[in-house]
Chains A and B, each alone.
Chain A
Amino acid sequence: MQEKVIEVRNLVKKFGSFVANDHLNFDVYQGEIFGFLGANGAGKTTAMKILCGLSAPTSGEAKVAGFDIYKETVKIKRNIGYMSQKFSLYEDLTIAENIRFFSGIYGISPSDRKVKQEVLLKNLDIESAKNSLIGSLPLGWKQKLAFSVAIFHDPKIVFLDEPTGGVDPITRRKFWDLIYEASDRGITVFVTTHYMDEAEYCNRVSIMNEGRIEALDTPENLKKQYAAKNMDEVFLKIARNTE
């Protein structure tokens, strides 16, 4: 059995009388790619914010990277990476300046930074663009860079909030190559997405609906269980069942 990096037990988050997260229970293991699926408003973002230490739950327990989400949010934040759907780099700064800024926040020493920066630029094959402003780069590059910066400090877990919005399937596929690489290095990937083809790339997926987790398994098992050809069908069947 692999090490659990996220443990969630009976997690509830209420806004007034509205229940955004209704008794969530799940575990995420080290190095796995965990897909967090659900329609808009199903409560994905809320759950993700709680796990990132941005917001406190109403009740329930959860541990991220071994730290308690009530008391140890600073330690959690040091051990996670986060990439929002808006690719989250500064457009008016260059690649090198962005890397320098985020390294500074995570306390990476300048000498470490230089070594890692070279590796990063080489991997993405963008050494020549080191001093270009982010705003001048194509969207696909920006997203790859944003991901690389989000795991620059070698976090245990990286949270990706709909990271591939607005790009074509080929660029998406290339982006997922980076995700696989990170997972091979032992970084756990927690990813929300709208695209059902991406759900197939995950090791396990959970599907949320109206604040509850309705299904959680490998894509293979889910397709068998719901007698579906692909994840799209699985998703639709679950949505219909709960209506």
Chain B
Amino acid sequence: MKQFIGFLRKEFLHIFRDPRTMMIIFILPIVQLLLFGKVINTDIQNSRIAILDQSHDNTTREITSKLMSSGYFVMGEELLPGDDVEDVFRKGKVKMVVTFGPNFEQNLERDGKADVQLLADASDPNTARILTSYASGIINDYVRKEKLQNIQLPNQINTEVRMLYNEGLKSVYMFVPGIMAMILMLISAMMTSISISKEKELGTMEVLLASPLKPIQIVLGKVTPYLLLSFINALTIIIIGVFFFGVPIKGSFIILMAESFLFILMALSMGILISTVAPNQMVAMFISVLALMLPTILLSGFMFPIENMPLPLRILSHAMPPRWFIVIIKNIMLKGTGIMFVWKETLILMFMTFVFITLSIRNFNLIIDD
């Protein structure tokens, strides 16, 4: 035990003496979270749109004011019939043009249908999709509530879309679990693999192996500080998510932390595995970034929906531990489900941890023996 505490003291000295390590562990998570949560915000607010109103009747004016008072849009320009719509887009002044056809109110009241056209600048497809769906939502809502109450229409079907668990479609709800997966991977897997391969590179690993310390004690000594720091980071991210961005924790906080702990263990065992393969720090970092960070960001469903991926990538995404972790976190935080609904994902993470540890032990023995 005394040996172990001495080892930990040494590891913490390594960490606290290296400004780069300190940056990655303490500053990076917060910066990432704030960046994704605040700056790279995919929510729509105050988008500039143009209106081309060929009717100028009460209904179109009311719809226009509904759009403007929704908070999503502001009036960028009012166009007149005959104005070049494309020109407005080309100048980049507005993101969408709403065109009301002639005799809008009359048509609506007589036939129950009228023409409105939404033209969106799809050079940014995501925004275009969101803008058009918000706008059509507002228009339909208005028409249904204000105009069609008194008119009997046969087989009128109203589709109502509700975004469950994230009604405001707030992207930060998505980013918090994603960032958490990314940061924990970064610190647990990358930092441990670098710190172990550093000992190999500097020749101190041989000295440790020739000492009475058992290999398992060496590995535990190297890993424990990062386990503690990762856990602190997981807490920090959750705290910032809850108090700064208002992300709810609907499920059990204890299960949430237990699952985070499991994910950290998985990432640590991955880090150990990388260090058994990498001869020096550079290679360890390279493998970590290429094999961990990029797939975490691209294939875990954090940035891009897995459902939209081509089949080979969709299959590959099953092998990405963050994918399962993100599902677990979202279930617990946003849906408030208990362990009964995430046991499958939990088992998958446990299995992955087991595989990585087994492979590490096998590799480690090979290294000593070469």
Contacts and interface: CB of A to CB of B under 8 A. Distances in A.
Given A52-B210, A55-B369, A101 B10 contact: yes
A84 B207 contact: yes
A161 B203 CA distance: 11
A126 to B, nearest CB: 20
Contacts of A8: none
A90 B210 contact: no
A101 B6 contact: yes
A183 interface: no
Contacts of A85: 203
A105 B213 contact: yes
A80 B210 contact: yes
B211 A105 contact: yes
A208 interface: no
B211 A77 contact: yes
A104 interface: yes
Interface residues of B, number: 26
Interface string B1-22: 0110111011001100110000
B11 to A, nearest CB: 10
A87 to B, nearest CB: 7
Interface in B294-336: none
Residue in B203, B212, B213 with the greatest tally of chain A CB atoms within 10 Å: B212
A45 to B, nearest CB: 10
Contacts of A90: 10, 14, 202, 204
A120 B109 CA distance: 100
A91 interface: yes
A13 to B, nearest CB: 9
A150 B204 CA distance: 12
Contact of A104 (B3, B13, B207): B3
Main SS class of interface, B: helix
A88 B10 contact: no
Interface in B203-223: 203-204, 206-214
A105 B207 CA distance: 11
A150 B206 CA distance: 12
B202 A91 contact: yes
Given A84-B206, A104-B3, A107-B3, A92 B13 contact: yes
A169 B10 CA distance: 34
Given A53-B210, A54-B210, A77-B210, A87 B3 contact: no
B14 A92 contact: yes
A159 interface: yes
Contacts of A161: 206
A56 B5 CA distance: 30
Contact of B7 (A52, A78, A88, A104): A104
Interface in A94-112: 97, 100-102, 104-107
Contacts of A107: 2-3, 212
A167 interface: no
A83 B207 contact: yes
Contacts of B369: 55-56
B39 interface: no
A90 B212 CA distance: 18
A175 interface: no
B6 A100 contact: yes
A92 B13 CA distance: 8
Contacts of A97: 10, 13
A92 B14 CA distance: 7
B364 to A, nearest CB: 12
B6 A54 contact: no
A89 interface: yes
Interface in A53-96: 53-56, 74, 77-78, 80, 82-93
A179 to B, nearest CB: 18
Interface of A: 15, 52-56, 74, 77-78, 80, 82-93, 97, 100-102, 104-107, 150, 159, 161
25 contacts: A53-B210, A74-B212, A82-B211, A83-B207, A84-B203, A84-B207, A87-B203, A88-B203, A90-B10, A90-B202, A92-B13, A92-B18, A93-B10, A93-B13, A93-B14, A93-B17, A97-B10, A101-B6, A101-B7, A104-B6, A105-B208, A105-B211, A107-B3, A150-B207, A159-B210
- The 9 A-B pairs of least Cβ separation, nearest first, read A86-B203, A104-B6, A82-B210, A84-B203, A88-B207, A101-B10, A52-B210, A77-B212, A84-B206
